[in-house]
Amino acid sequence: MCLAIPSKIVEILDNNIAIVDTMGVRRKASLELLNPKPKVGDYVLLHVGFAIEVLSEEDALESLKLFEEALDYENEFEL
Amino acid sequence: MKTNLNSKEVILKAKDTIIKKVEKLGKPIKVMEFCGGHTHAIMRYGIDKLLKGYIEFIHGPGCPVCVASMDRIDLAIELAKIPNTIFTTYGDLLRVPGSHRKSLLDMRALGCDVRSVYSCLEAFDTALQNPNKNVVFFAIGFETTTPPTAVLLKKAKEHKLKNLFVVSNHVMTPPAVRYILNSGISHIDGIIGPGHVSVITGTKIYEEFDVSIVISGFEAFDILKAINMLLDQHIKGERKVENAYTRAVTEEGNKEAQKLIEETLDTRDSFSWRGIGSLPKSALKINDDYEIFDAEKVFDVKLPASKEHPLCICPKVITGVSKPTDCKLFGNLCTPENPIGSCMVSSEGACAAYYKYQEVELCM
């Protein structure tokens, strides 16, 4: 339940909704839980459709790298 | 090129460091991972097998689907049965059997309009699109998942919706940690603290506890790093809160999210947890300002006394007293395809994680 994945904001729409890119998949995310509001290009942690924290680019890329490595790891061991 | 932190080489090095420290101590260390996401990660990477004999993992009550008591599942099923209702909830809950072995999915097969949502705002859209139907959102989750429910309530009020109703089953981490530590049911040398709960709450919520707590991320390297920090505390005789997930977690947490929760929800006097029973001030209810959206107040649902399956030991698994493999039903009568207990339903439940990854032998 508590899975949250770093995602990059690619567009900000009306009503605190943004389009985010999560490892190549684009989807809508609510920005209601963030104050101040993030801007296009910022990385956020995405949980059940809500951005719950802004991440520094360095930290986001570190997290994504670990996440991708985990997926590679699963593929390697055919889990 | 940066080191691949989840690589076999890095993981084996971390393993050696941990094992050397435990050998010096002369006895295995008991570590509770509170969060179901950590339970899943530990099994997925085979970290439990990697450190077997050195670190014993006690799986904590941090899987929200698993700790939902039978009477809450029964309530969900009764609400879904009310005519003219669209019942919405997060997908994990749909397959949990209630007292009569029927789940929300079974209710859907019987003609009830039961829908799973990725975001609770889908319930808001559904209510707008179906003005002649009542839409119920059955909210579950720990602190990570609570703020979205607060946003849903605020939006319902702003738009003066008359057909959206919410059940809050949101539970809180500190009362469960307090229970585990005070009940003495399992001796614990240290706790791997939940990462994404702490994004919302900050690390400050753990300061009351007289035990070593290290907040961790969810990858193999994160977890090994947290265990290493717990060991260092143990060796020095320290009991403090440390943050190994500084990528996302701060001391104060997400204040905007905390404010939204305060505006919409109040602490319940007590709430029933599967495996634990009634815990005082451990869950949240919709506050008086938003009571017109509180399904528990609006719908008069009568529930007979709930009952657990006589052979299911989920209650003991949730509190770390028993391992999934101690259960007679595990892997034969109870499987992820045909779950009897809630711990086999959610991928974060200890039984589902054991079942899926029982053959994993990391790097060996």
Inspect the interface and report whether the beta carbons of A52 and B144 lie closer than 8 Å: yes
Question: Is it the case that residue A69 has pLDDT exceeding 90?
Answer: no
Question: Is it the case that residue A79 has pLDDT exceeding 80?
Answer: no
Chain B residue at shortest CA distance from A50: B148
Residues from chain B contacting residue A1 (CB–CB below 8 Å): 36-37, 63-65, 90, 92, 140-142, 144-145, 346, 348
Strands (E), A1-79: 5-12, 17-22, 25-30, 43-47, 50-55
Chain A residue at shortest CA distance from B247: A59
Residues from chain A contacting residue B7 (CB–CB below 8 Å): 69
User: What residues contact residue B162 under an 8 Å CB cut-off, 6+ apart?
Assistant: none
Inspect the interface and report whether the beta carbons of B120 and A70 lie closer than 8 Å: no
Mean pLDDT of chain B: 93
Chain A residue at shortest CA distance from B35: A2
User: What residues contact residue B339 under an 8 Å CB cut-off, 6+ apart?
Assistant: B95, B96, B97, B345, B352
Q: What residues does each domain of chain B span?
A: 8-62+173-243, 66-171+283-298, 314-355
Question: Is it the case that residue B204 has pLDDT exceeding 70?
Answer: yes
Cα distance between residue B84 and residue B95, in whole Å: 22
Mean pLDDT (whole number) for B9-19 = 90
Q: What are phi and psi of B216, to 5 degrees?
A: -130, 150
Q: How many CB pairs under 8 A join A and B?
A: 123
The per-residue pLDDT for B362 is 43
Among the partner residues A33, A48, A77, nearest to B256 by beta-carbon distance? A33
Chain B residue at shortest CA distance from A4: B196
Mean pLDDT (whole number) for B251-261 = 98
Can you give the three-state secondary structure of B42-94, one letter per residue? HHHHCHHHHCCCCEEEEEEEECHHHHECHHHHHHHHHHHHCCCEEEEEEHHHH
Which band of pLDDT confidence, cut at 50, 70 and 90, is reported for residue A63? confident
Write down how long chain A is: 79
Distance from CA of B41 to the nearest CA of A (A): 10
Question: Is it the case that residue B11 has pLDDT exceeding 70?
Answer: yes
Inspect the interface and report whether the beta carbons of B144 and A47 lie closer than 8 Å: yes
Residues from chain B contacting residue A79 (CB–CB below 8 Å): 44, 357, 360
More confident residue, B243 or A59: B243
Distance from CA of B270 to the nearest CA of A (A): 23
Share of chain B above pLDDT 70, in %: 97
Question: Is it the case that residue B224 has pLDDT exceeding 60?
Answer: yes
Distance from CA of B116 to the nearest CA of A (A): 12
Inspect the interface and report whether the beta carbons of B44 and A63 lie closer than 8 Å: no
B-interface mutation test, from A2, A7, A34, A72, most B Cβ less than 10 A away: A2
Mean pLDDT of chain A: 87
Distance from CA of A78 to the nearest CA of B (A): 10
Residues from chain A contacting residue B44 (CB–CB below 8 Å): 70, 74, 79
The per-residue pLDDT for B287 is 98
The per-residue pLDDT for A62 is 83
Question: Is it the case that residue A71 has pLDDT exceeding 70?
Answer: no
Interface of A with B in 6-25 (CB under 8 A): none
Most confidently modeled of A30-34, A68-72, B178-182?
A: A30-34
- How is domain B8-62+173-243 classified at the CATH fold level? Rossmann fold (3.40.50)
Which band of pLDDT confidence, cut at 50, 70 and 90, is reported for residue B1? very low
Cα distance between residue B190 and residue B213, in whole Å: 6
The per-residue pLDDT for A15 is 92
pLDDT in tens, B48-75: 999 999 999 999 999 999 999 999 999 9
| Neighbour tally for B7: CB within 10 Å | 16
Among the partner residues A49, A72, A74, nearest to B121 by beta-carbon distance? A49
Note whether B261 and B147 are within 8 A (CB).
Answer: yes
The answer to whether domain B8-62+173-243 and domain B66-171+283-298 are alike in fold is yes
The per-residue pLDDT for A34 is 98
The per-residue pLDDT for B137 is 98
The per-residue pLDDT for B358 is 79
The per-residue pLDDT for B3 is 55
What's domain B66-171+283-298's superfamily in CATH? HypD, alpha/beta domain 2 (3.40.50.11740)
Inspect the interface and report whether the beta carbons of B63 and A52 lie closer than 8 Å: no
Which band of pLDDT confidence, cut at 50, 70 and 90, is reported for residue B320? confident
Residue with tokens 């029982």: B358
pLDDT in tens, B114-147: 999 999 999 999 999 999 999 999 999 999 999 9
The per-residue pLDDT for A64 is 83
The per-residue pLDDT for B268 is 98
Three-state DSSP class for B279?
A: strand
